Structure 1
């Protein structure tokens, strides 16, 4: 099979590899489409993981083979593949902190080498733990592979929306109108909130308005805070979701979030970046700071319902399609986006 192997920082090698062999409780999936995630890009461009590895985790495909002890799944079924499933028994899981679970972190789908998702390959192996515990989701005939590939990122965004307790009627500032920021806008509208979007690219601001934002502003606008206060009766937004790793966006969030409001970090910031803050700002204004990382097993059924029943329009997020061989070009496109670049899909 063909695969894009991470051989070092910004070194992807298009190689011929053996198709993964299965244990008796495992499943082999032929990958039809895999989303290019910002976390994949960071893993490729920065020294975060030891090579060799095969990344890619927003996967949808067709079951190509099942182990002898697998009885619930059959060759030919169309499935979403979740690359992590928690143990549901450790203290983290019992507190719904599923992404902190050691089983969640260490057992993953693989196309070879150290298990790292494996979606950037023609075939991916699904471990028995994931097969047995809800990591394969049957795709209805009415749903395309492209749409199905959005289940995992939708879950991640849902987790943040639920953690921030966004309620009907609330105003939410979303910093960044890339594919994740736009998905936040859609979900906020779906749950009855009012989204305000910021970005640096005019076409993305227009896109935010088209998918449901109440307003959209250039993040460099010197009147940004005044504009947001005017939209919120002088109070500021109830919640800010930071969908870009920008310290400037954080300080804008402090200015634009009301007293008693919440600021949630969703984007991963560079490790070397430190943000100085006077703690009295949080104390006197009772601002809650929180983070949301990865997906929640608790929300998997809801994510599936939202995507499969088209509660949000994930098709509107797709801008580019690349073959697996073109993955390096896709990474370049994502890091130097054109005016219309949003979600990039890869086709093994």
Structure 2
């Protein structure tokens, strides 16, 4: 089969590799029909990652078609089933897995990191994922290039569940990349009555208008904190989600939140600048709840697939580019330059 193999920092080679075989540990084989490029793939390409040992096939936002099931394995899937595959491979046995927090598994591994990923024509799926609900069917009317967005959408669902986004609330989202746009769409679907999107790039802000925020703010052109206060009758927002790897944005988010507001640091910071100056008195006197969010659970992946299938989340608007395997470095460039939203690799095109 053809695969885009990560060989080391800034080196991905598209070449023929042996087809993966089913086994007791990997009993489900799928033809990869689409695999979207994540920002973490871009970071791995440029800087490497400790749990990605070259040569490795990366890519973890996967949709495909089942082509083989290990004989004797009791699988809910059969050849021909179209599926999405989550990223997290959880053990199912540790303290966090037993509490339903599989995304914080103590023995956490992931597709495209420790396990070969989706930038290839075929991949095999770990048995634990098949059994714990991390593989979900997709209906015929949903194209694979849209279905593969279920994985990042599941992460967005995790963030909004932790933030308590719901009916009648005001929500600020900082960052209008693909994740920020998903946050806008999900907040609206959950019944938030005012969604405010902040983004310093005007072209990105214009692209994001397809997702229906109520207010658009460019902090490069106006005082974002003052504007958020104006839009919320002086109170600040019930929820502020920082969907950008920006320390200053995280600091500013506290000033945008209402009393007893929830502030979600959804985007991690660069490893060489992981600290911020946090105004503890704002947290103390305004009784703010500040929390993070990372990855997703099998349940959230199922919900994400259902939201896409129902049309409640417009995956078509999120996918702005598709590339073949041979165009993967071109796709990485599109992502890092911010020229589009989701870029999807189609291994058979």
Note whether the superposition's TM-score is higher than 0.5.
Answer: yes
What is the DSSP-based 3-state SS (H/G/I as helix, E as strand, rest coil) of the residue aligned with 1:196? strand
Partner of 2:222: 222
Q: CA deviation at 1:277?
A: 2.2
- Provide the C-alpha distance between the structure 2 equivalents of 1:234 and 1:21, rounded to a whole number of angstroms: 60
Gaps in structure 2 of 5+ consecutive residues: none
Task: Tell me the equivalent position of 1:124.
Answer: 123
TM-score by length of 1: 0.92
TM-score by length of structure 2 reads 0.92
Specify the alignment match of 1:159 in structure 2.
Answer: 158
Aligned length: 341
Once the two structures are superposed, residues 264-288 of structure 1 have per-residue CA deviations (whole angstroms, 9 ceiling, x without a partner) of: 1111211121212242232122221
After TM superposition, the structure 1 = structure 2 runs for residues 260-339 of structure 1, keeping only pairs within 5 Å, are: 260-273=260-273, 274-338=275-339
- Please state if 1:66 is matched with 2:69: yes
d(CA) in 2 for partners of 1:26, 1:292: 31
Q: Is the 8 A contact 2:61 2:152 kept in 1?
A: yes
| Match in the other structure for 2:251 | 251
Residue pair 2:133, 2:299 contacting (<8 A) in 1 also: no
For 1:182 and 1:45, the matched residues in 2 are separated by: 25
Q: Which moved more, 1:74-83 or 1:233-242?
A: 74-83
Which deviates further from its counterpart, 250-259 or 183-192?
250-259
Q: Paired residue for 1:95?
A: 99
- State the 1:332 CA deviation: 1.2
By how many angstroms is 1:109 displaced?
A: 4.4
Distance 1:127 1:205, change over 3 A: same
Q: Which moved more, 1:235-244 or 1:300-309?
A: 300-309
Q: Is the 8 A contact 2:6 2:54 kept in 1?
A: yes
Counterparts of residues 122-201 of structure 1 (less than 5 Å): 122-193=121-192, 194-201=194-201
Query: For 1:130, what is the secondary structure of its paired residue?
Result: helix
2:261–2:287 contact (8 Å) kept in structure 1: yes
What root-mean-square deviation, in Å, do the aligned CA atoms of Structure 1 and Structure 2 show? Answer: 1.8
- Contact 2:9-2:45 at 8 Å conserved across structures: yes
Structure 1: 5+ residue runs without aligned partners?
none
Which secondary structure does the structure 1 equivalent of 2:78 belong to?
coil
Distance 1:212 1:117, change over 3 A: farther
